[in-house]
């Protein structure tokens, strides 16, 4: 095999994973990001390796429920109304998938890239210092009661079809299993054999160090354009100069959209603004990640603190933090962990890349030599290593034994 030079654009979990697998495949690799590895969207997630996250948000009935949820001050869905005219075309396409047929199709595509997430993270980190950040653990969904759990029957049905069946814990047994939870949580749906990253930002930073230790190069620069003279990638132009290459991988999350437009593809993708609050030195915290169904947030023991991450807000890339999502998140945290106190709190907001059909873009754009690896919505950390492995295999001439058609980068141009 002839060694070629690949430029990976984006140093989050997907980009760094791709770069490592490419180096293991014998490729010369340069990793380019405008910031520091792991400090973008990968920084702020809850750290869960959510293998059971196979169900998209666009379940049947969302079209009818959506307006009411948006107007409900106690539901964690927010919209900057001035942004609605720009959001509307994407939102129309997004909601068009809120039916049983599309939901099952999307769930099948998601299952391929998330179901073996713990094994994929272990394969990525095996024999490296980064392995210390990955833990196998339970992942629990906290509900008010059995009725609230039963209301999610459709989603749990999709999970069961993918092989994920929960153990149900009810009543006083909930607090026996997880003492930090208050009385508002009367049922836990516990998923075994899931995983957790102790600190997502430090994990990705260490993976980047693993990459450089393998002879890879990291460059801090802003990508401006591609040189596609002759119909295939020849170079990537940045504010730090031109970098020649034979192939390129676009793994820059929501910032991939304007770059892909330079190849003539307009991807219907929005930023889904997500929030977290880090509680420093909490008096109590769960022993493993807990998804609080009523608040749609995950509480995780990140580092020495408690991270509560979730909420959905649509408002574009440019606006700063909003007060209302953080206020609601704090309210739900107090309800869930009524006895918890912390020395201090830190707020954060990031941008989840949300394609209109809830599936990432993975593969080569035609025969351009440019490969996509972005659009992972809520499952970036979970599916990053497998996505990176799939793309690296394609570049190294080892097509994966998966159906890649659900992730076809040009599917929107085809009207799918």
Residue 72 has pLDDT above 90, yes or no: no
Give the three-class secondary structure for 248: strand
CA 148 vs. chain centroid, Å, equals 26
Torsion of CA 79, 82, 85, 90, to 10 degrees: -30
Q: Rounded distance, CA 380 to CA 203, Å?
A: 14
What's the confidence (pLDDT) of residue 71?
A: 81
Distance CA 174, CA 186 (A): 6
- Residue 414 falls within a domain, yes or no? no
For residue 416, tell me if it sits in a domain: no
> Residue 74, Cβ neighbours under 10 Å: how many?
10
Least confident of 8-22, 29-43, 110-124, 162-176: 29-43
Q: Does residue 290 belong to any structural domain of this protein?
A: yes
Cβ atoms 144, 187 nearer than 8 A? yes
| 415: in domain | no
pLDDT at 1 exceeding the cut of 60: no
Name the residue with tokens 């993708």. 269
What's the token pair of residue 187? Answer: 């049922």
Q: Is the pLDDT of residue 283 over 60?
A: yes
Q: Is residue 214 in some structural domain?
A: yes
| Higher pLDDT among residues 72 and 114, named by residue | 114
Residue 197: count other Cβ atoms within 10 Å of its Cβ.
26
Pairing type for strands 241-244 and 235-238 reads antiparallel
Residue 171: C-alpha distances to residues 49, 117, 149, 168, 340 (Å): 27, 31, 13, 10, 21
Q: Please tell me the total count of domains within the chain.
A: 1
On whether residue 197 sits in a domain, the answer given is yes
DSSP letter assigned to residue 52: T
Number of C-alpha atoms within 13 angstroms, CB side, residue 89? 5
Residue with tokens 């499952």: 379
CATH of the domain at 72: 3.50.50.60
Q: What angle do CA 148, 153, 159 make, to 5 degrees?
A: 125
Domain that holds residue 209: 5-407
User: Residue 17 pLDDT more than 70?
Assistant: yes
- Give the helix/strand (H/E) hosting 119: helix 117-125
pLDDT band at 65 (very low <50, low <70, confident <90, very high): confident
pLDDT digits (tens, 9 = 90+) for 298-340: 999 998 899 999 999 999 999 889 999 999 999 999 999 999 9
Neighbour-count burial of 219, counting CB atoms closer than 10 A to its CB (0-12 exposed, 13-18 middle, 19+ buried): middle
Contact at 8 Å (CB) between 130 and 212? Answer: no
Lowest-pLDDT range of 56-70, 124-138, 220-234: 56-70
Q: What's the angle, vertex CA 5, arms to CA 14 and CA 362, rounded to 5?
A: 35
pLDDT of residue 74: 86
Q: How confident is the model at residue 34 (pLDDT cuts 50, 70, 90)?
A: very high
pLDDT value for 414: 59
Residue 416: pLDDT band with limits 50, 70, 90: very low
What residue has token string 């293998």? 51
pLDDT tens figures, 136-171: 999 999 999 999 999 999 999 999 999 999 999 999
Strand partners, 304: none
Task: Share the mean pLDDT of the chain.
Answer: 94
Asked if residue 323 belongs to a domain, the reply is yes
Q: Is residue 413 part of a domain?
A: no
- The stretch 92-109 carries a mean pLDDT of 96
Residue 224 has pLDDT above 70, yes or no: yes
Residue 208, classed as helix, strand or coil, is helix
pTM of the model: 0.95
> Which residues does residue 134 pair with via DSSP β-bridges, in sequence order?
197
Does residue 204 register a pLDDT over 60? yes
**pLDDT score of 2:** 54
Average pLDDT for residues 230-240, to the nearest whole number? Answer: 94
How confident is residue 3, by pLDDT bands cut at 50, 70 and 90? low
Percent of the chain with pLDDT over 70: 99
- Residues 396-402 have a mean pLDDT of 89
């Amino acid at each position: 095999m002839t060694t070629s030079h690949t430029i990976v654009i984006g140093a989050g979990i997907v980009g760094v994973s791709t770069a490592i697998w490419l180096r293991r495949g014998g490729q010369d690799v340069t990793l380019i990001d405008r910031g520091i590895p792991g400090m973008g969207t990968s920084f702020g997630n809850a750290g869960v390796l959510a293998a059971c996250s196979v169900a998209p948000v666009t379940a049947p009935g969302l079209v009818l429920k959506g307006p009411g949820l948006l107007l409900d001050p106690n539901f964690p869905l927010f919209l900057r109304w001035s942004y609605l005219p720009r959001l509307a075309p994407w939102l129309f396409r997004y909601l068009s998938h809120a039916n049983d047929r599309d939901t099952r199709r999307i769930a099948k595509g998601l299952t391929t890239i998330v179901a073996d997430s713990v094994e994929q993270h272990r394969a990525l980190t095996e024999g490296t210092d980064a392995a210390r950040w990955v833990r196998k653990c339970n992942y629990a969904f906290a509900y008010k009661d059995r009725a609230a759990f039963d209301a999610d029957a459709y989603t749990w049905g999709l999970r069961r079809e993918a092989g994920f069946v929960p153990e149900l814990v009810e009543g006083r047994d909930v607090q026996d299993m997880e003492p930090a939870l208050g009385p508002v949580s009367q049922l836990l749906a516990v998923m075994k054999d899931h995983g957790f990253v102790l600190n997502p930002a430090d994990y990705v930073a260490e993976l980047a160090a693993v990459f450089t230790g393998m002879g890879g190069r990291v460059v801090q620069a802003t990508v401006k354009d591609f040189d596609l003279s002759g119909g295939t990638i020849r170079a990537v132009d940045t504010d730090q100069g031109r970098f020649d290459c034979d192939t390129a991988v676009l793994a820059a999350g929501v910032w991939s959209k304007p770059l892909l437009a330079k190849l003539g593809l307009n991807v219907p993708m929005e930023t889904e603004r997500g929030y977290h609050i880090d509680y420093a030195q909490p008096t109590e915290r769960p022993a493993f990640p807990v998804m609080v169904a009523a608040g749609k947030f995950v509480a995780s023991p990140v580092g020495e603190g408690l991270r509560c991450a979730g909420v959905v807000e649509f408002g574009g890339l440019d606006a700063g933090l909003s007060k209302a999502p953080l206020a609601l998140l704090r309210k739900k945290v107090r309800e869930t962990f009524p006895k918890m106190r912390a020395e201090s709190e830190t707020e954060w907001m990031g941008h989840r890349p949300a394609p209109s059909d809830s599936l990432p873009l993975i593969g080569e754009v035609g025969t351009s030599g440019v490969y996509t690896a972005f659009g992972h919505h809520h499952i970036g950390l979970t599916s990053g290593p497998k996505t990176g492995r799939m793309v690296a295999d394609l570049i190294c001439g080892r097509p994966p034994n998966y159906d890649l058609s659900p992730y076809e980068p040009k599917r929107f141009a085809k009207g799918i």
